[in-house]
Amino acid sequence: MLRKGLHAAVVLLAMTCAAATARAEDGKLAMHVLNRLAFGPDADSLQSIHRLGIDGWIDRQLHPETIDQPQVLTDRLNRFETLSLDPVELFQRYGPPLPIAGAVDADAVKAARQRSRVIVQQAGQARLLRALASPRQLQEVMVDFWYNHFNVFAAKGLDHLWIGDYEERAIRPHALGRFRDLLEATARHPAMLFYLDNWQNTAPGSPGARGRDSGLNENYARELMELHTLGVDGGYTQDDVIALARILTGWGLVRPRQARFLPSDNGFAFDASRHDFGDKVFLGRIIQGEGAAEVEAALDILAGSPATARHLSFELAQYFVADRPPPALVDALTRRWMETDGDIHAVLKTLFASREFRAPANFGGKFKTPLQYVVSAIRAADRQVVNFRPLLGTMARLGQPLYGCPTPDGYKNTRDAWLNPDALTLRLSFATALGSGHLPLDVAPPAMEEEAIPQPAQALRPAPVDSDRLLALLRPTLSARTLDALGNAAPQLTAALILGSPDFMAR
């Protein structure tokens, strides 16, 4: 009897230990999911993932239209009036004044530029506000991913006018949809056409060729293949670049003086007078000279290419799994991409169910970009943000100003790109200011006119971050070394040490 009782006790103890281990592993997987499919955990997202289960939470995130937005978030977003304007309206209201009798009023141009700053300010605040507070976290993560993939630099010429609309109408609606639709939306948007110069792309000798619009411009054609679709090793040649540039002639913007003559779709216009109507051979296929329909055919070819499927599958696996993604996972995602004709939702579902994504060896294996670090810190610290300037300024100092990447390849998302001594020092300074309550987030500065948010009658003194609550939230991600350091630290430094720890800088 004694042996039986002892055996039963041993079995019960083993079962208890196994259950505790399983709970710990589930907790680590939940935090891994929130660090990859969201901008880090906060109390609400952790509660949601516990209520729905990991798979249930992922499935819900893959269907953002089923997730209600908080009314307070919707109300704040509605205050950004520039996001409701289309590219034509933005140009008319905030663009540079047209020359009068051939002369340009320099003071008027300067005043218009100053007035237009509100567009990028509101776009940046809206992006951060959604990343911080939207329960549709995967959608916001994918907006970050796709904006970076189809990067446009706000400081190039007129692009500061259209950057918010580009994100709002070209990127966001298609972030979890079909890649072909996303490709089309970016290809038609004035922000992209201006950034990569296709608005000037003109068939030499065509009726519309004149001045600076008198020659072939290959910029967009090259980046469309090298970055947006096939990839640098995607099997195209310089002849294909030239052919695609010819296909894209006349594909651009409506000009102020053309507005009465060319049909415009939110600023996009196809000018047949500048198009090359000759037949082209593109990626081994003959495309007859039919005008705008040629571009649609070229986009179909690019979106349906196996090279595009592999290029994008690699990028997704690198973003969500590892800097050097497992080849077997890239192969599986490529197959799924081809099977579903580039259905981003379906490819992501396969990715998140993969053993590679869920392998503990990949937990914490990615280093947060400045955007991911700043947003995840605010979410974990449970800070309400009215003044976004400290966040935007920190991102800029860390090398990732929002909408500020001048090159079309966008910002990198690998450890080597962001891990350096200077960046670590800046992150620690940010963590210290945030943890101690000295980051002025709660009250908008007097000069901030772009978001008229009602202010309390008497501003409260900033409070330090609740270190006990922060530790309870993030404990599953903290190493034994970090926990030991916290145990030996003064209580008032605990929050800063957590937010500045190597564990928190990883995801």
Q: Is the pLDDT of residue 397 over 80?
A: yes
Tokens for 380?
């974990």
* pLDDT band with cut points at 50, 70 and 90 for residue 1: low
Q: Left, alpha or beta for 466 (phi > 0: left; psi -120 to 50: alpha)?
A: beta
pLDDT tens figures, 303-349: 999 999 999 999 999 999 999 999 999 999 999 999 999 999 999 99
- CA dist 212 and 493 (Å) reads 60
Q: Is the dihedral of CA 68, 70, 76, 78 positive or negative?
A: positive
Q: What is the mean pLDDT of residues 447-475?
A: 69
Q: Is the pLDDT of residue 457 over 50?
A: no
pLDDT tens figures, 344-377: 999 999 999 999 999 999 999 999 999 999 999 9
- CA dist 181 and 227 (Å) reads 17
In sequence order, the β-bridge partners of residue 210 are: 213
pLDDT tens figures, 114-171: 999 999 999 999 999 999 999 999 999 999 999 999 999 999 999 999 999 999 999 9
pLDDT tens figures, 400-452: 999 999 999 999 999 999 999 999 999 999 999 999 999 999 887 655 444 44
Instruction: Report yes or no: 494 and 469 within 8 Å, Cβ to Cβ.
Output: no
Q: How many CB atoms lie within 10 A of CB 147?
A: 24
Q: Is the pLDDT of residue 209 over 60?
A: yes
Closest CA to 250 of 295, 307, 297: 295
| 3-state SS class at 355 | helix
Cα separations in angstroms, 318 against 184, 341, 353? 24, 21, 16
pLDDT tens figures, 231-249: 999 999 999 999 999 999 9
Which residue blocks in 199-279 are alpha helix, DSSP H? 219-223, 238-247
- CA dist 156 and 217 (Å) reads 17
Query: Please, how many CA atoms are within 13 Å of residue 491, restricted to the half-sphere of its CB?
Result: 4
Q: Is the pLDDT of residue 286 over 60?
A: yes
Q: What is the mean pLDDT of the chain?
A: 92
Tell me which DSSP letter residue 267 carries.
Answer: T
Q: How many CB atoms lie within 10 A of CB 419?
A: 14
Instruction: Report yes or no: 382 and 119 within 8 Å, Cβ to Cβ.
Output: no
Q: What is the mean pLDDT of residues 95-118?
A: 85
SS3 content of the chain, % helix, strand, coil (to 5): 60, 5, 35
Q: Is the pLDDT of residue 172 over 70?
A: yes
Closest CA to 213 of 192, 196, 197: 197
Predicted local distance difference test score (pLDDT) of residue 265: 84
pTM, two decimal places: 0.91
Q: Is the dihedral of CA 124, 228, 406, 245 positive or negative?
A: negative
Q: Is the pLDDT of residue 14 over 80?
A: no
Q: Largest Cα–Cα distance in the chain?
A: 108
Q: Cα–chain-centroid distance for residue 367?
A: 16
| 3-state SS class at 303 | helix
Q: What is the mean pLDDT of residues 372-383?
A: 98
Predicted local distance difference test score (pLDDT) of residue 11: 42
Tell me which DSSP letter residue 131 carries.
Answer: H
In sequence order, the β-bridge partners of residue 285 are: 282
